[in-house]
């Protein structure tokens, strides 16, 4: 069914977010990591650019997790929840995209957070 208004589009998007929040453990995990990342970004005194980078890499991972969930649900619908070798490949590839984005976000976060933590550690000497 087509969205009739912009408000309908927003409601549907929020419904998708809430579905993932209520039903997908990996999605919840990514949101928790995102919240912790933002907390430490402010705690460590990140500048606006650094916070923007954290927001960008975090939302990419979260958005890909939602796309992964969509693909998994679609595959399950098409194969009627039966085991099929191609269904597994499709799901694995989709999960792999999330994995790659999560690993790259960890690497980028390392470049941002580690120097700040080292400064704090040096101040205790």
> Which parts are annotated binding residues for a divalent metal cation?
24, 72
- Which of 61, 64, 65, 113 does the annotation list as catalytic? 65
Residue 80 zone, left/alpha/beta (φ > 0; ψ -120 to 50; rest)? left
Q: What is the DSSP string of 41-90?
A: HHHTT--HHHHHHHHHHHHHHHHHHHHHHHHHHHHHHHTTT---HHHHHH
> Which parts are annotated binding residues for ATP?
24, 72, 91-92
> Which parts are annotated binding residues for substrate?
65
Is 65 known to be catalytic?
yes
> Which parts are annotated binding residues?
24, 65, 72, 91-92
* 12: CB partners within 8 A, 6+ apart: 3
Active site members: 65
């Amino acid at each position: 069914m087509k969205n009739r208004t912009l408000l309908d589009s927003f409601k549907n998007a929020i419904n998708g977010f809430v579905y993932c929040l209520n039903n997908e453990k990996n999605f919840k995990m990514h949101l928790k990591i995102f919240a912790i990342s933002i907390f430490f970004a402010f705690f460590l005194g990140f500048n606006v650019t650094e916070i923007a980078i954290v927001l960008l890499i975090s939302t990419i991972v979260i958005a890909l997790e939602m796309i992964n969930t969509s693909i998994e649900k679609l595959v399950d619908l098409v194969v009627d929840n039966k085991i099929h070798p191609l269904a597994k490949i499709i799901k694995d590839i989709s999960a792999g995209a999330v994995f790659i984005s999560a690993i790259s976000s960890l690497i980028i976060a390392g470049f941002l957070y580690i120097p700040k933590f080292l400064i704090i550690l040096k101040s205790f000497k």
